[in-house]
Each structure stands twice: as structure tokens, then as C-alpha cells.
Amino acid sequence: MLTYQDYGRDADREGFLRRLIAEHEACGAVRTARTADLYDRQRNRTIAETVQKIYTLSGLPVTDPTAGKQRIASNFFNRLNTQRAAYLLGNGAGFEKAGTKARLGADFDTRLMQAGRLSLIHGVSFLLLNVDRVHVFPLTEFAPLWDEETGRLRAGVRYWRLSANKPLRAVLYEEDGYTRCAWEKDGFHAGEKRPYRLRVRTVPAEGGETILGGENYGALPVVPLWGSRLHQSTLVGMRQAIDSYDLIRSGLANDLCDCAEIYWLLENYGGMTDTELARFRDRLKFTHIASLDTGGEGRVTPYTQEIPHAARQAYLELLRAGIYEDFGALDVTRLSAGARTATEIQAAYQPLDEQADDFEYQVIECVQQLLGLLGIEDTPHFTRNRIANQLEQVRTVMEEAPVLDRQTLLEKLPNLTPEEAQTVLRRTGFAALKKEGD
């Protein structure tokens, strides 16, 4: 593992960047992240690579050419990660101070949702503060350089290649600026280091911009967002259960394909060749009528067979319930909102809340680091996106109305977002009155 101190001791920048990218691509975290990307796209690697084997008399395994080719991949990984990310970040981030979110960009909520979901799938994602907007880097495209002493992120390389025959491009991010690099056919090219914030003068009459100078932030403007305190992909520990579910479900489908529902037993017709037997079967399937000389002891008997499925179906249901339980997710099939009280619904959300709490701590820490780069002291807050018996919740809030101020009352209403509550306060003039009273 290369660190920030290794970068400082190596005078060969090109060689160091090559080694850094190569080691990053080969590390276990990135390999897991790439596998997690496949599961996220419902291209589960284990079921996709499964091949049915049979063994010869000598004990050698060979591919079974007669086995069914059904490979059914489940979508658990995509759905559960989306559920956790949307549950916490689906309604966007709110802040205590007005104007804070505007400093992070108009699309900050979208970028934070993207980064949050990637941090769950990969274990970590990275956010770059670019003056008045935020960019998101996945772990599979960003090689970090951690400080050996403090553990902080001190530098990193964002790299990409459009295809195998295109040049590898990279951007080296350091605390005192960034440098664009590329490995072209004629060799390595590196541009000049540029500051993160430029002072530009635009003169319409001259038809261009003039760079007057630049400055950097007080620290590296790339901030890691971890998916949990474990600092690992959610695929770890979950993959085996998903693979087991896919293999059993695909195996049941293959059994149904491999085993005929109806087959025929011809007795005392051993003189028929394979071709004649096939012709008999094809005619029977086409016309549903067959005529045979059954003189003597000859007989044609149809048989049906039923594929055993009860045990597999029960195990699939146990696997599904276990996946949701271990992930800490909400299985909406077990909820009937029309027949549940608010207390029952809240209890069903308890496992998801526990996991979302851990996730929220990581998000808050990341956002506060971004705000620190802008010199802002503020704390983000989130409204969780959940199914609820809103009528019952509204009744409870209205019963508390005599002892609550108007702002608290509006913030507690489940059908209003924090931004909508503030809008109502402004429209009714309550905020202005409160300021005058203070």
C-alpha cells in the first residue's frame, strides 16, 4: 500500500503514479467494488459463471451438455442499497443556516445521493469540492494517498480510460493544487500544477478571460464518504446469501426444463430404432393421436412426474427473509399500511433505522468537512423517507399543538419537508414576528 509519505520520498512522479494506479487496481477493496458493481447491475458473477458438471466413469468432471441453461440473477443488492440510501438522503439535506446549501451547488442533493449510494456499494466514495459545486469519484476511479501518521487523506489520483486503445488520463490532486496527466502514444505528459480557485477577469470587448491569480483551500478539497463504520462494501457477507438464493432458484427452473411433464413408456416394442421412437414422439406431440399394433402384450402407457419444490420454496423464503434481516432492510411485503398503526410501522423500521444511523454519522462527517473547506460552521440534517400512517401522526402533533410553538409544530408534521415548513413560516410572517420579538 502506497502512502502520502511514499509519494513525498519518490522523485520519479511518473513511475510513482503508474505504481499507485496499478496497486490500487489490484487491491482487494477495488476488486470487491468491481464485483459489487456487477451485482448492482443484476449481473451476479457466481450465477453467471455457473456451469453444470457431470462425472465420467473415470471420475473426471466434464460439462453437462444436456443440463438446463437458466441463470436467474436476483436484484437484492441493487434494491437494498437503494433503499438505505434513499431512506436517508431521498429528501435531500437541510441546514441550520440559510444559504449553506447554495454554497455547495444547485445539484448538491443529487450529488450527495450519488456519493452515498456508491459508498454503500464500494465501501467508500470521494467528493471533490470545485468552488461552487461538488463532484463524485467512485473508488474504482480514485486512488487515495493516506497519511501514515494521521490517517487523513492528503492526496489522490483520479484516473480513467475510455477504452483499451485510448490513452490513460489522470488528475493528481494535492493540497497545493492539481495536475492533469496523460500517457499518450509518444509518452507521459503532465501539465502545470494549477490552484483550485482561480481569479478570472472577463472583458466582453476583448472576447476572452484573463486569469489574474489563484488560491487553494486550507486542506485537500477531496473528502471521503464511508458507507459505514466498518469501511467495507455491503457485498461483504451478503454475497453468499444472494448466490445461494440465485443457485437454488435457477436450479428449480432448470429441473422444470430438464424433466418432461409427460413421458411415454412403450412396452414390448424393443425392435423400434431410435429414429422410429423419435418419429413416434414427434407425431404424438403434433397430433396428440398415435396408432400402434398392440396385438399380444404390447402396451403404450403415459406417465407424469412432479418436480419436488416445496422444500426449495421454503428455503428460498427463509433466505429472502434472512437477507433482509442481515442487511437491516424493510421488507414492504410484510407491511400492510392500511391495517397497521403508526407504532407498528415504526417498529418495522427499527432495523433500517439502526443501519441508517450509522450511515448518517458518516454522511454528516463528510458534509462538515466540505463545509469546513468553505469556512462554514453548520450541521446537515435529514428527513427520512418512510411509509407512515400520516393521519395518526398528524392527529398526535395537533394534540401537542397547545404546548408547541408554531415552528416546531410545522417541523413535526410528517407531510412537510423542512424547506416547506420554512416556506410556510415566511408566508405567514411568523418568522419576521419572531425576529422582532427577540
Residue type, 382: F
Query: Looking at the 3D structure of the chain, how many domains does it have?
Result: 2
* Domain with 424 in it: 389-438
What is the per-residue pLDDT for 400?
Answer: 83
Q: What is the pLDDT of residues 238-283, one digit of tens each?
A: 999 999 999 888 888 777 666 655 566 666 666 678 787 777 777 7
Q: Which of 117, 111, 162, 112 is nearest to 141 (CA)?
A: 162
Share of the chain above pLDDT 70, in %: 79
In the chain, the largest separation of any two C-alpha atoms, in whole Å, equals: 111
Distance CA 166, CA 185 (A): 9
Of 173, 197, 226, the last residue of a domain is 226
Range 411-430 average pLDDT: 78
Residue 147 located in a structural domain? yes
What is the per-residue pLDDT for 437?
Answer: 44
Residue 82 located in a structural domain? no
pLDDT bucket at 438, cuts 50 / 70 / 90: very low
Q: Which of 108, 136, 135 is nearest to 124 (CA)?
A: 136
Of 166, 201, 226, the last residue of a domain is 226
Is 38 exposed, middle or buried, given 0-12, 13-18 or 19+ CB atoms closer than 10 A? middle
Residue 37 located in a structural domain? yes
Distance CA 393, CA 136 (A): 37
Residue 18 located in a structural domain? yes
Residue pair 242/44 in contact by the 8 Å Cβ criterion: yes
Comparison of pLDDT for 221 and 279, the residue scoring more: 221
Q: What is the pLDDT of residues 130-156, one digit of tens each?
A: 988 999 999 999 999 999 999 999 999
Distance CA 146, CA 3 (A): 5
What is the per-residue pLDDT for 224?
Answer: 97
Alpha-carbon distances of 210 from 30, 204, 237, rounded to whole Å: 41, 11, 54
Residue 276 located in a structural domain? no
Is 210 exposed, middle or buried, given 0-12, 13-18 or 19+ CB atoms closer than 10 A? exposed
pLDDT bucket at 160, cuts 50 / 70 / 90: very high
Cα-Cα-Cα-Cα dihedral sign, residues 250, 255, 256, 257: positive
Residue pair 72/397 in contact by the 8 Å Cβ criterion: no
Residue 303 located in a structural domain? no
Comparison of pLDDT for 411 and 361, the residue scoring more: 361
Distance CA 348, CA 331 (A): 9
SS3 of the chain: CCCHHHHHHCCCHHHHHHHHHHHHHHCHHHHHHHHHHHHHCCCCHHHHCCCCEEECCCCCEEECCCCCCCCCCCCHHHHHHHHHHHHHHCCCEEECCCCHHHHCCCCHHHHHHHHHHHHHHHCEEEEEEECCEEEEEEHHHEEEEECCCCCCEEEEEEEECCCCCCCEEEEEEECCEEEEEEEECCEEEECCCECCEEEEEEECCCCEEEEEEEECCCCCCEEEEECCCCCCCCCCCCHHHHHHHHHHHHHHHHHHHHCCCEEEEEECCCCCCHHHHHHHHHHHHHHCCCCCCCCCCCEEEEEECCCCCHHHHHHHHHHHHHHHHHHCCCCHHHCCHHHCCHHHHHHHCHHHHHHHHHHHHHHHHHHHHHHHHCCCCCCEEECCCCCCCHHHHHHHHHHHHHHCCHHHHHHHCCCCCHHHHHHHHHHHCHHHHHHHHC
Q: Say yes or no to pLDDT of 27 above 90.
A: yes
> Who contacts 399 (Cβ-Cβ below 8 Å, separation ≥6)?
none
Of 177, 195, 226, the last residue of a domain is 226
Q: Which three cell numbers stand for residue 107?
A: 445539484
Q: What is the pLDDT of residues 34-79, one digit of tens each?
A: 999 999 999 998 888 876 666 666 667 766 555 557 788 999 999 9
Residue 205 located in a structural domain? yes
Residue 287 located in a structural domain? no
pLDDT bucket at 397, cuts 50 / 70 / 90: confident
